[in-house]
């Protein structure tokens, strides 16, 4: 079973993503970028999905650290956020985001998006 790390400070989003993905993927959750990075240092994932606006360490800061880390620099990272501006997407792309999913997301399409990037 493929492993996915989902990072979001909103408990309701973590619950929703768990409902949508847990049947098909081994899912690990984190509440912010710092917590996620601590997990990434100990475990490899097939894909990472991260919100952007979070306390402690935001998603773009996390993305930058993921790309600097030898063991995770090639892991697909999808940014799932309410941020839809061209500037924000360009910054995500510059930092190495694999893709961009705007919230609210389509629960039926999310698993296939993940399968595609893995």
Token pair in block for residue 104: 């609210």
- Residue 86 vs residue 32, higher pLDDT: 32
* Residue tagged 């956020």 (tokens): 81
What mean pLDDT comes out for the span 23-46? Answer: 96
Cα distances from 28 to residues 52, 86, 95, in angstroms, run 17, 29, 23
Query: What domain range is 18 assigned to?
Result: 3-117
Identify any residues that bridge with 6 across adjacent strands, giving them in sequence order. Answer: 29, 49
Number of domains in the chain: 1
Q: Determine whether 55 is exposed, middle or buried from the number of CB atoms within 10 Å of its CB (0-12, 13-18, 19+).
A: exposed
* Of 39, 81, 28, nearest in space to 59 by CA: 81
What mean pLDDT comes out for the span 102-116? Answer: 91
CATH code, 90 = 3.40.50.2300
pTM across the whole model: 0.94
């Amino acid at each position: 079973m493929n492993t996915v790390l989902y990072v979001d400070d909103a408990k309701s989003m973590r619950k929703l993503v768990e409902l949508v993905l847990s049947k098909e993927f081994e899912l690990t959750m984190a509440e912010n970028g710092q917590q996620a990075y601590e997990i990434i240092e100990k475990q490899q994932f097939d894909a990472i999905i991260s919100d952007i606006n979070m306390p402690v360490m935001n998603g773009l800061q996390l993305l930058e650290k993921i790309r600097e880390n030898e063991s995770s620099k090639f892991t697909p990272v999808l940014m799932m956020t309410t941020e839809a501006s061209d500037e924000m997407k360009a910054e995500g792309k510059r930092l190495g985001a694999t893709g961009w999913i705007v919230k609210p997301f389509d629960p039926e399409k999310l698993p296939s998006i993940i399968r595609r990037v893995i």
